[in-house]
Amino acid sequence: MPLIRSIVKGRWGYFFIGPAYVLFTIFTIYPLFEGIRLSFYDAGLKMRTWVGFENYARLLTDSAFRRAFLNTLHFVVIIVPVILVLSLLFAVLIFGLNYVLQSIFRAAFYLPSVASGVVLVAVWLWIYNPTYGLLNYLTGLVGLPRIAWLGDARWALPALSVVVISWALGRPIILFIAGLNGISREVYEAAMIDGASSWQQFIRITLPLLTPTTVFVLVTQTIGVFQTFVVVQLLTRGGPAYATQTIVYSIYVTAFQFLQFGYAAAMGGVLLVVSGSIALFQLRLMRADIEY
Amino acid sequence: MKRSVIFLLAALLAASLVVPAMAEEPVTLRFWTDPRFRNIAGMEDKTSLPGEWEMIQAQEFMKLYPHVTIEVEVIPFEDLTVRVPAAIAAGGAPDILKDYLGRTAQYWHEGVLEPLEDLIPQDELADYLPSLVEMYTLDGHLHALPSYSWVGHLVANKAIWDEKGLGHLLPTIDNPSWTVEEFEAAIEAVKEDSLWPFGLFVPPDGQADYRYLAFFWVFGAKLYEGGDYSRVDLNSPEGVEALTWLKSLNDRELIQPGATTMTSAQLDTMLWRGEIAMMGNTAALWSGYTNALRDGKVTREIDLVPVPYPTVPGVSAGLAVGPTGFAIFKQEDPNKLKWAVEFIRFLNQPEYQQIYAQNASQFPVRLSAGNPHEGKPHFEMIQKMLELYGAEDLGVTSTYYNQVRTLLSTEIQAVLINQKTPEQALADFEREANRILSR
């Protein structure tokens, strides 16, 4: 009864969020459960045979998937902290500027987030091109040898990480600037009266009060980096020799090139469990209320 | 009396026009095609975009059969591997698909295509090149109707050799063969600081497999032996020798850097810029050259000539052949199937075969199409090479074609970036490929 009373009381709220929830259920929740169900089948384009946990067992012995899993973790470990630190740094720097400059920098950093991935990749392909690329031209000016940035297993993963970071910085910067705007100036004034240095203000006031934003950025970026796909598909296609293969790219190849939808769904199941667990862990670790 | 006779005759005439039309039930066919053709000779203004030519063809067919509606959709090459499987899985497959044999064969193995051998008149089938009909016959059924085909070979920018007065190092139509040693001497002779003589492309997804498999054939190694797709055969002394040789070319920087992730388009750009002198390709490169010239991408003198792969004594290696054809997806309505078959027969008429061949630098598959490339020296050279060396088996119709070629390219990559020795790579390839093939 209290539940019904609560629903009746908030009927207008439910009315407005209802359409979004319906779409979310149809296009996210239902495919999620369907994907999990599919992972227990040997499923091709038309035929489906129940195989229980066989697909998951096969993943344990699949060296290519193991490599993709490790590469994905590698991406998360490199990219997420760098995005967090850089976006906070840039946000603080931009926040101190006047309104016009703030707008210019916010737009500049956000631009890659809204630009076409294909166009950005074309630019990066030119930058990384081993024979006529900009990067080798610049390193050549200081006498460094030519490097196949995307074709060398030692450099391919870091090279892709730079691309992902350059794309992903915009949104966290905007969020951190919004977070900084939400911190009362009075707190800083009180700290200054108490003789706190700029560094102390940053560590003792800014960082703690930005915790909700930080948690949000951390969780969304972690999930986002777990889903790295476009950069891999358009720049390296998982090569050389699986050096940049990620879980999502493996799912794509397994489903659409090998036509093994059940096995691909099992990979998706693993991704769901791992990324979900890490996101939950991060949320618990930071123990903060999220307001966005 | 006279008036009533005229009225009767008019009514009969009207009935004779209306009744047959009413007899045919309306049919709508969805035709998905790759974006192969544009700027058809004489119709450039109407066919500047991919798909416009196919729409004109569909309109011609609909004029002949007004009860049939053809809905043409052009699928970009990069989407063909995703949209078609997704559509099939979702129950929204097109009725007709024009695509590469490597993909239509996979759809056949998935059981979603109509067998065509009883739907195409036998005298018409007899007009197709028997080798192509054989390639398209899977499990005893004609799984699709071949339409045109490319042939894989080497292409050299002869201008680079001529500038150095070394044009004589390349084979000619009068002497279309050379040894591995002669090949090496020719590419070493033009090596410069910013010129890698040989362009190689071993992408992680196994695309353009004919370009690197050819080097295995040169040394006598075969991917499959005698058409037996139940196990791979590449891990042999000949295979190891081929891969070792390929690696040595790479180590000596005779191959451009980044062969493992470079795209075909990047390699073409290097050719137009004079940064590579030779690479594996097809006659389609000549069309690419025309487009590159138009787009201002060519920055040095280009004189493309087809060149055979080198040979080693005692080994006869053929060329790769890659056909495209029309597949019809399973139909519940026999009438729809009938008109789908009529439409693909219409699309494959000899006149169109010639246009396909000329526009996309391909070879026709019907004997009655004649030789649309007569008088073109590079095509004559390719035809001579094909006659001389025959065709090799890429394994495109094997059930696990995509998986096996992806695996092979990954192992070759591991060798090129010094992660594995050729012996290790081929042993790993054999073990994993045979595990896949035994499923």
For A39-72, the pLDDT digits (tens) are 999 998 888 999 999 999 999 999 999 999 999 9
| Spatial separation of the C-alpha atoms in residues B416 and B410, rounded to whole Å | 10
Measured torsion, CA atoms of residues B315, B316, B317, B319, in degrees rounded to the nearest 10:
170
CB atoms within 10 A of CB B390: 13
Confidence of residue B387 (pLDDT cuts 50, 70, 90): confident
Q: Say what the pLDDT of residue A292 is.
A: 41
Q: Which among A146, A238, A258 is the nearest to B402, CB-wise?
A: A258
Q: Say what the pLDDT of residue B262 is.
A: 86
Q: Nearest CA to A234 among A141, A133, A145, A116?
A: A116
Residue B163 has pLDDT above 80, yes or no: yes
A110 in any annotated domain: yes
A5 in any annotated domain: no
Which residues in chain A are closer than 8 Å to B272, comparing Cβ atoms? none
Specify whether the CB–CB gap between A150 and A61 falls below 8 A: no
Q: Could you give the number of structural domains in chain A? A: 1
Q: Say what the pLDDT of residue B137 is.
A: 96
CA distance A155 to chain B (A): 11
What is the chain A residue with the closest CA to B194? Answer: A131
Residue type, A253: V
Q: What is the residue range of A161's domain?
A: 63-286
Residue B353 has pLDDT above 50, yes or no: yes
Cα–Cα separations (whole angstroms), residue B397 to B144, B277, B429: 12, 33, 19
A114 in any annotated domain: yes
A22 in any annotated domain: no
Q: How far apart are the first and last CA of chain A?
A: 31
CATH number, domain containing residue A90: 1.10.3720.10
Residue ranges and CATH numbers for the domains of chain B are: 24-151+321-380 (3.40.190.10), 153-318+400-437 (3.40.190.10)
Confidence of residue B6 (pLDDT cuts 50, 70, 90): low
What is the residue-wise DSSP string for B59-117?
HHHHHH-TTEEEEEEE--HHHHHHHHHHHHHTT---SEEEEEHHHHHHHHHTT-B---T
A211 in any annotated domain: yes
Q: Which among B107, B205, B417 is the nearest to A237, CB-wise?
A: B205
| Spatial separation of the C-alpha atoms in residues B177 and B183, rounded to whole Å | 10
Q: Which among A239, A242, A255 is the nearest to B203, CB-wise?
A: A239
A38 in any annotated domain: no
Which residues in chain B are closer than 8 Å to A236, comparing Cβ atoms? 204, 261
In A, what residues contact B, Cβ < 8 A?
44-47, 64, 125, 129-132, 146-153, 156, 235-242, 245, 252-253, 255-259, 261
Alpha carbon A68 to chain centroid, angstroms: 16
A153 in any annotated domain: yes
What is the chain B residue with the closest CA to A42? Answer: B439
CB-CB under 8 Å, B85 with A259? yes
Q: Say what the pLDDT of residue A197 is.
A: 92
Half-sphere exposure in the Cβ direction for B240 (13 Å, CA): 11
Q: Say what the pLDDT of residue B13 is.
A: 55
- Overall average pLDDT of the A8-35 stretch: 92
Strand partners, B321: B151
Instruction: Kindly tell me the number of DSSP H helices and DSSP E strands found in chain B.
Output: 17, 12
For A128-165, the pLDDT digits (tens) are 998 889 999 999 999 898 899 999 999 999 999 999 99
Question: Which of B261, B275, B436 to mutate to test binding with chain A, by most A CBs within 10 Å of its CB?
Answer: B261
Cα–Cα separations (whole angstroms), residue B156 to A117, B183, B306: 34, 11, 6
Chains A, B: CB contacts under 8 A, how many? Answer: 110
Cα–Cα separations (whole angstroms), residue A94 to A134, A162, A179, A210: 28, 21, 13, 16
A42 in any annotated domain: no
Q: How far apart are the first and last CA of chain B?
A: 81
Confidence of residue A83 (pLDDT cuts 50, 70, 90): very high
Specify whether the CB–CB gap between B153 and B280 falls below 8 A: yes
For A183-233, the pLDDT digits (tens) are 999 999 999 999 999 999 999 999 999 998 998 899 999 999 999 999 999
Residue A119 has pLDDT above 80, yes or no: yes
| Helices A211-226 & A170-181 angle (0-180, nearest 10) | 170
Lowest mean pLDDT among A16-30, B15-29, B321-335: B15-29
Cα–Cα separations (whole angstroms), residue A25 to A11, A19, A32, A39, B3: 19, 10, 9, 20, 72
Record the tokens describing residue A215, joined without a space. Answer: 């948690």
- Overall average pLDDT of the B305-330 stretch: 93
Residue B97 falls in which region: left (phi positive, over 0), alpha (psi -120 to 50) or beta = beta
| Spatial separation of the C-alpha atoms in residues A225 and A254, rounded to whole Å | 20
Cα–Cα separations (whole angstroms), residue B144 to B117, B118, B125: 9, 12, 12
Specify whether the CB–CB gap between B427 and B223 falls below 8 A: no
Lowest mean pLDDT among A9-23, B19-33, B359-373, B379-393: B19-33
Alpha carbon A199 to chain centroid, angstroms: 29
Q: Nearest CA to B180 among B314, B377, B321?
A: B314
What does the radius of gyration of chain B's CA atoms come to, in whole angstroms?
A: 25
Evaluate the CA torsion angle A251, A257, A258, A260 in order and state its sign. positive
Residues in CB range of A144: below 8 A, 6 or more apart? none
Confidence of residue A291 (pLDDT cuts 50, 70, 90): very low
